[in-house]
Amino acid sequence: MPDTPFAPVILGNEPGSFPHSVLAERHPAIIGQVRDAFPYGPGQHRALDELLRSCTEGTIEPLPADAPDRDRWHGWGLAGHTGRPWFDAPWLWSESYFYRRLLDAVGWFGPGPWQGVDPFRPFKRAELDAPETDEELAALDGLRDLPEQERAKALLHGSLWGNRADLGFRLSAAGAEAREASPGLVADDSDVLWSLLPPDETGTLVLVADNAGRELVPDLLLIAHLLAGGRTARAVLHVKPYPYYVSDATTADVVDALRRLRTAGGAAAEHARVLWSAMADGRLAVRAHPFSCAPLPYADMPDDLRAEFAAATLTIVKGDLNYRRLVGDRRWPPTTPFRRTTAYFPGPVAALRTLKSDVITGLSAATEAALVAAGEQSWRTSGTHALIQADPSGQVHPE
Ligand SMILES: O=P(O)(O)OC[C@H]1O[C@](O)(CO)[C@@H](O)[C@@H]1O
């Protein structure tokens, strides 16, 4: 983002700040939860102890010599951060590396019997199986008789507010789920978004997913609606190649969600049928690109991913972390135009996000003033507010 070098990158080293609390409190809590959830052996317990020590009072250490992705992480800056306290690296970098190391500790990368066992799966499954999910799926039947535009809006908002269902976030934001969502959006470019999805049965939608369970389910419902109504001919769902940020969706979570929809009956099962057959004939594809777990902003994306986004009619980027990566994890003045921060993006892009970290762009001065007056700074991180932002051009914008 060469034209805006003044917005500083967010670090985790300011005691009392939100990023600091994530590194100092949430990460240790996650280690505790994972440890409790599985009958791990002594080697895994030792490795978890070591990670706990390292991430709270130690420094960033290199990956094991036989790590399959060692070169990739070097390309993502590991050598430059090795030996530094976790708190002094860019927050985005430290968080991502924490999850990478957690997977090492539990044996995800193998070889061995724990290879590929998702340490977050029990939490994700519990959410998918929760009665709230039944209620949300049953409510779908009530949308059947609505005019298309209203149904589309309801499904878009379902996908947007589904982003509140984020397990890592709830760990340190006690009562987050119970807290009232603020009905007004802090930014709403939904007209632009819909204009990029005309019902002409052409085009490719890329949806960069965020969380599994109660976020992925409404994401899939939205995709089903867009495919069935001809607002897109094809869809590509980007998920994570490995478990990440507790509840981020992997391919296994897509399968779980689709099976959940299929067995729910009613309108949910109808949507499942649309998705199932779209997967079978290639109109819906799932991708798990390594860069989806990179500790870097999308401005640094590799050429193959850039080409994929460039070819899409629209890329919808879900959630808080993807937003941070889309606009850059920086202390932007909140009125910085969204489109200025996404000027590098190779195609039309939209963000659907509930606000769960300090980064924000694209607010009007009046909106920012009202938020500050009403809620001090908690509106930024409490998940009560949401936004729909869109940049239709996919080209560099003149200032
Ligand atoms: O699931 P989401 O919406 O990406 O939110 C996860 C957010 O939680 C955090 O881990 C802490 O807020 C952020 O790093 C991240 O932006």
CA of 357 to the centre of ligand 1 (A): 7
Tokens of 261: 């929809």
Query: H-helix or E-strand containing 204?
Result: strand 204-208
The pTM for the full model equals: 0.94
Measured distance between the N- and C-terminal CA atoms of the chain, rounded to whole angstroms: 13
Which pLDDT tens digits describe the chain residue by residue (399 residues)? 444 557 999 999 999 999 999 999 999 999 999 999 999 999 999 999 999 999 999 999 999 999 999 999 999 999 999 999 999 999 999 999 999 999 999 999 999 999 999 999 999 999 999 998 988 899 899 998 999 999 999 999 999 999 987 555 444 444 545 555 556 799 999 999 999 999 998 999 999 999 999 999 999 999 999 999 999 999 999 999 999 999 999 999 999 999 999 999 999 999 999 999 999 999 999 999 999 999 999 999 999 999 999 999 999 999 999 999 999 999 999 999 999 999 999 999 999 999 999 999 999 999 999 998 886 668 898 888 999 999 998 744 444
Instruction: Give the ligand 1 atom nearest the CA of 357.
Output: 12
DSSP structure class, residue 177: T
Considering only CA atoms, which residue is closest to atom 2 of ligand 1? 320
Distance 230 CA to ligand 1 centre (A): 32
As a whole number of angstroms, the longest Cα–Cα distance in the chain is 60
- What letter represents residue 157's amino acid? H
Say if ligand 1 is within 6 A of residue 358 CB. no
Domain boundaries, the chain: 18-119, 125-391
Q: How many Å apart are CA 241 and CA 237, to the nearest integer?
A: 12
On whether the CB atoms of residues 353 and 244 are closer than 8 A, the answer is no
**Ligand 1 touching residue 96 (CB < 6 A):** no
- Amino acid 184: pLDDT: 73
240 lines ligand 1 (CB under 6 A): no
Q: Is the sign of the CA dihedral 354, 360, 363, 365 positive or negative? A: positive
Q: Identify the pLDDT of residue 25.
A: 97
CA dihedral 10, 14, 17, 19 (to 10 degrees): 50
Residue to mutate, 10, 26, 166, ligand 1, most ligand atoms under 8 Å from C-beta = 166
- CB of 318 closer than 6 angstroms to any ligand 1 atom: no
Give the three-class secondary structure for 387: strand
pLDDT at 181: 59
Contacts of residues 271-274 at CB distance under 8 Å and 24 or more positions apart, as own/partner, are: 271/140, 271/220, 271/221, 271/224, 271/225, 271/228, 272/224, 274/224, 274/227, 274/228
ipTM of the prediction greater than 0.90, yes or no: yes
DSSP conformation letters of 307-374: HHHHH-SEEEEEHHHHHHHHH-SB---TTS-HHHHTTT-SS-EEEEEE--SS------HHHHHHHHHH
CB of residue 164 inside a 6 A radius of ligand 1: no
What does each C-alpha distance from 84 to 16, 26, 42, 89 come to in angstroms? Answer: 20, 20, 28, 7
User: In degrees, to the nearest 5, what angle opens at C-alpha 357 toward C-alphas 120 and 85?
Assistant: 75
Locate 150 and state its tokens.
């209203």
Amino acid at 49: D
Q: Is the CB of 22 under 6 A from ligand 1?
A: yes
Pocket test for ligand 1, best of 55, 169, 382 (most atoms within 8 A of CB): 169
The ligand 1 atom at the shortest distance from the C-alpha of residue 356 is 12
CA of 203 to the centre of ligand 1 (A): 30
- The answer regarding whether domain 125-391 maps to CATH 3.40.50.10880 reads yes
